[in-house]
Structure 1
């Protein structure tokens, strides 16, 4: 490891990351998830409590609202609320359902914006900040790049659901993707797949002014 890096800071970040998918953790669980010894895990956790990044109730630790501040700054800097959200809202209305924008973070897709028409079926129940492995969803497979042709992977992540996605940016290495879902039992499904992908492409085109994003190809799951 480079001598210019702070190993203490990295350990603290590991502790914060340990809470992914968990509402609360004990010190033993934090140590197990991070690979830190218990005394180091305790020191990191108590420091994060003091800094208001996590809270402590008895033996349980949980993320504090303070962790949303850097995320909020990231979204604000990227104009997600002012520029992206209205675009997603308009296309969710056209789709009559939901639409999500995700960015690549290593081997995961991180959902950074979402819109659903009132009363629409929300299949995955994902929210802003949700993460999923790249190979489990249509959006994730788009973010893997490789100029892949359109695909249909029926029920790959959720039974009875077909996921569709298009990259926003270079097709060989996109950093962003748009996606939605359709029930596999939908009448005239093949026609709906085509019209839905067309809408996703239009949404991607509307986002072309976002830094580093351009018009993409598509992938069906």
Structure 2
């Protein structure tokens, strides 16, 4: 998979020089003169990272950062600026930037920052792929199995689930067996973990989970 480094800076000479430097690292480079230019040509792949000027005509770096959080949430963002302040760097990092560098930038520093951003990008994309795989498994459940799943991961016991759904405990046990087979899990705790990761229930502390889901439940 090709890794693209997207450089967004209104200074054409700096953008060109930085692009040539990044290419020596073995990466593909795409340059944009403004935030609006980048938004109009959003990359299809989120493999890579963005090097973004802080102050530009039109959309500023922080304003573009807000847009990119929705448009390309997996692409790491590194701010580059010749007019940086502590307040600006703190704001950028709180908003999710991977790093904040002041111009001029040494080749080694830039390479280290890009490598960290790309490692972060790979981790985020792997996490997304895992969630999509879990969601695909969950989509294989029947509507009734989904009802049972949602009740079980909230700590409802078989008898309680049977009462809630107006059916027998034996039927609920059969549904639980099918659910676990379809999800590829061997315990209720694993079901709860899937539900937590997909946002169907809030995260439960291990000690609380042990109390809610004793062995055999």
Tell me whether the two structures share a fold, i.e. TM-score over 0.5: no
Larger Rg: 2
Q: TM-score, normalised by structure 2?
A: 0.23
User: Quick check: which one's helix share is greater?
Assistant: 2
